[in-house]
Structure 1
Amino acid sequence: MKFATKAIHAGQEPDPTTGAVMTPIYQTSTYWQRSPGDNKGYEYSRGTNPTRKALEDCIAALENAKYGLAFSSGMGATDAVLRLLSPGDEVITGDDLYGGSYRIFTKIYEKYGIKFHFLDLDKPENIEQAINKNTKLIWIETPTNPTMRIVDIAGISKIAKANGIKLCVDNTFASPYLQNPIDLGADIVMHSVTKYIAGHSDVVMGALCVNDEELYKSLWFVYNACGATPGPQDSFLVLRGIKTLHLRMKAHCENGAKVAHYLKNHPKVEHVYWPGFESHPNHEIAKKQMRDFGGMVSITLKNAGLEETFKIASKFKVFTLAESLGGVESLINHPTTMTHGSIPKEAREKVGVTDNLLRLSVGVEDIDDLIADLEQALA
């Protein structure tokens, strides 16, 4: 089954009671049992809910995975993976990382004896020298947030498998439309479903996808025991959003490419971060593991300090200055004070997350209006 068909149909059957084509919102906390244990698979909605199950099966199908789990946020999904670790375990991850991931790694899990190594992952071989007997997890995101670095999933997967280490890929920026890490050897795929998968800036949700049954059972135990699961209304909204994922992503990619090329030639822009440029350090890897280059573009402003950057960021009329990304509307974000504010200044600047950097989530509006907005804001 091709992607567009899976987006519309995967995990969803007509309602057996009414024949409703769209999965109903099962707004219930508990379920009738004929006798103790005779529950048709549903006992209590923290653990299982039919609307959420349809969504989980749909997202798993989009990622070419056997199992999916939905969480109340992307950080809830991230937390569930980290709960598989024990004191003394070590994690290898990137030095260009979403601020929320950095925060939970360093402010929450380091306190429990988990050690994190933040490395330049542009080349898989950089990982090998950091591996030791305590290394249990490699966590990567690609493209990275916000400098759009590309990490070689297949290359790192080979190293992980050779050393008996789990590989988790944060696939939020690409979405399953552009990239399927399970096919490239990842053990776990994580999504902030809030972003492209839901796509309309009206839901907060996360997801994990896996192929291994034992790993799924371990994650499901955390999911059920700790309870960071979404309700049926949010699950319904995401199912509805997924039905246009392929159409939205095509438009995001088309607009993203045009915005990136426009900004590359703008006199007030010092650098454009976008993996579609042949000059991008890992452009060839991006071409190999992605189907297109996405709608995320970051820029640094030429000769701009913090005050000038704030002034420009506040001038946009179509782009909205806001946190998050991946919705149908275009957003602009200042990472050092917004999404990456929890990362120390020295660590941010080392990887290029400077005060004059802006991150654009290019939406699906008319491209002429987006270009005109960029032109007036940068004037």
Structure 2
Amino acid sequence: MTNRDGIVGATIDKITHPNAAPPNDPNALKRLSTDVQTALYMSELAPTVDVTAQCGGATPGVTVWRRDGISAGGKAPKFSEMMEMTAPNIKQLADQMNYLEGYSQIRGDRAAEILGQISLPIPFFATIGYMDPSRTPRTLELLNAATMFSFTVIQRTKFALAVKRPIEFSPQVQPMIPTPTHASLPSGHATEAFLIARILWKLLRESQAPQYTDDAYWGEMLMRQASRVAINRTVAGVHFPVDSAAGALLGLTLAEHIHDVADGCGWTSSVFDGTSFNSESDFEWHALYRPDGDRIRKKIESGGAQWGSSKKHDHDGTSAAMLNWLWKQAVTEWRDVPASQD
């Protein structure tokens, strides 16, 4: 206040007014705080899905619905089935307790990783893709918005399926970390990890940088990291392998959905049938996805049983303006800086 009194001086008789700000302009996002940006991205993502539960059969099921098109245009929105998920039965889970016992033997080796992955495992993916807040701020904003969006879908799905945790099957499980209070399937860590891995792989591919376009090994490494995060939750004693299979498929499906909402590249519907999952099978990500070509397998099977499937669909509406801006900005961060022209 004293500073103003000392410098303002007499009233200016005539002063030039600023231009009016363009309304609803995505280019203005870069001048907003991170929390405001995230809220705006979520305003475009959140309405694109709905979740319904089916509880009348022998095992509970849930459907994740995708809104057709980005804007309803004043009309009632229409939805398409994006993912159907059915829970395994209690006997299948009991059979998978053998994996809990086996994986518990390597807790000492994995303890530091498991503790480091309790929160969002972005730093682990940053050891593969060159991410840093100063270098890739838009990529990190995109991943933050994507994982926040997925959290609601994950929790609603868990609640509908109500799959019990390993700690409820035996007093010898004794998880090395606190068991979350929500249900076990799908694994939220697996969902988030595979969502992050696939979005990153899409960004690398779209950047057209030669090291990413010529070799699918980058995608392979990202998926290996996602799988490591998922399996570590079984090592810790809080998840069954089947939880990771369901979560990985959900994460891969949501990544494709987000890409379509942001950039109109088509989407994938998928099915996870927990009742058909071979309880003697461990989680293996190669059964679900191929990095070369960035595609979920049409027929998903392991242990001699088919327990999942997928189908590719064309884009059916306009892209969300703010998410489109964010996606394109994130892609740019993975391109080489062009040489200066003297």
TM bin, normalised by shorter chain, reads under 0.3
Larger Rg: 2
TM-score, normalising length from structure 2? Answer: 0.24
